[in-house]
Amino acid sequence: MAVTLEQAQRVGYTCLKALLRFAFMVANNLVAIPSYVLYLIMLQPLRVLDSKSFWYIEGVLFKWLLAMVASWGWWAGYTVVEWGDDVKAVSEDEAMVLVNHQATGDVCTLMMCLQDKGTVVRQMMWLMDHIFKYTNFGIVSLIHGDFFIRQGRAHRDQQLVLLKEHLEKYYRSRNRKWIVLFPEGGFLRKRRETSQAFAKKNNLPFLKHVTLPRLGATQVILKTLVAPQENGTPAGRDAVIKESKSKSLQWVIDTTIAYPKGEPIDIQTWILGYRQPTVTHVHYRIFPVKDVPAEPEALTHWLYQRFIEKEDLLTHFYETGAFPPPQGQTKAISREMTLSNLWLVGIQSLAFLSGGMWYCILQYFYHCLF
């Protein structure tokens, strides 16, 4: 089949745009990440004198870095529409966020849609696969205090012990409030077949759009961060809000990410922008932690129910293009998530100015020494 001039021009434009976007992303990383590290090195005396202020500043810088990642998708037309509960209402409380996992773009989507949720981004902790430690963003996550978990049965018990120790050491000492994890333990395409075989063997529901979650990390987080006797006891939403100032995990936010036609965005697409503008849909459901059982068997059942509900949500979405309305309501309400282009440009400009400043400072010291 012959390629028309118009098609060739379109392909050429897409390739040129992808090349320019990639060059910008590389430049962005080369100035922003070293600047983040150097700022924090310079602020080490403050860490000794006033740890709270140090981690506040670190959190602000961390949020700006995540906003830069969000801007790559935002400017490519990869936007987000939100459904379900309004998580801004609990943005100042401690919460665990459970997310389905389809591709590397899931993390970028969360980086985008949590930008306008108050202090959440700068005070959150991520649980991610250990492979991310070796990416360009790995040094940032290490400094911020995220936890890299190694998958596989051989490492499972040791990783859960390390997770508990990590939470006890870093979560509250750095004033973290939200913790984000992907309980499926891997991408949908990689785990679906194994999960379906396990479900068949154990007489569990057959799932196509999600996989059965793993209990380990969720249980450790609840045991470590929830005040004794707090979860497993029914309580109303208003009762938990009154306790919002307590140092304890208060909410579980069940988050479901849906892509049109079930075609997830991966990190390569997010960076290069060769896919047409896409609206990703994110559904939230908030549970008071007092409604979450503590016993392993009951917690496993509760967690399975969340992913069975995700299956129903995604099935409805793929059939209709929208999430179903909450129980007892006739219409589902969506909210278009927006970012300020002026704010994003300001952050990007600050990153490049910081990079230039640190280059001049390092050049000065180099000439003084040599």
Structure confidence at residue 242 (pLDDT): 43
Instruction: Work out the angle at residue 284's Cα, subtended by the Cα atoms of residues 186 and 117, and round it to the nearest 5 degrees.
Output: 100
Q: Report the mean per-residue pLDDT for the chain.
A: 90
| Residue 247 pLDDT | 74
Q: What is the pLDDT of residues 31-45, one digit of tens each?
A: 999 999 999 999 999
What is the C-alpha to C-alpha distance for residues 310 and 100, in angstroms, rounded to an integer? 8
CA distances from 9 to 273, 275, 292, 315 (A): 17, 16, 56, 38
**Tokens found for residue 285:** 């459901």
Contact 136, 292 (CB under 8 A): no
Q: What is the pLDDT of residue 2?
A: 61
> For residues 314 and 293, what is the distance between their CA atoms, to the nearest angstrom?
25
Positive or negative torsion for Cα 161, 166, 171, 172: positive
Q: Two tokens at 262?
A: 């079930």
How many residues are given for the chain?
370
Distance CA(154)–CA(33), nearest Å, equals 34
* pLDDT for the residue 241: 42
pTM for this one?
A: 0.89
In this prediction, residue 9 carries a pLDDT of: 76
Q: Are 62 and 144 in contact (CB under 8 A)?
A: yes
The 3-state DSSP class for residue 103 equals coil
- The rounded distance, in Å, linking the Cα atoms of 206 and 208 is 7
Distance CA 44, CA 35 (A): 14
**What is the residue whose two structure tokens read 């859960």?**
160
Whether residue 115 contacts residue 93, with contact meaning beta carbons closer than 8 Å, is answered with: no
Tell me the C-alpha to C-alpha distance, in Å, between residue 194 and each of 27, 189, 199, 210, 297.
40, 10, 9, 12, 21
Enumerate residue ranges in the chain where pLDDT < 50: 234-245
Write down the domain spans for the chain: 5-227+247-324+331-369
Closest CA to 283 of 111, 66, 80, 67: 80
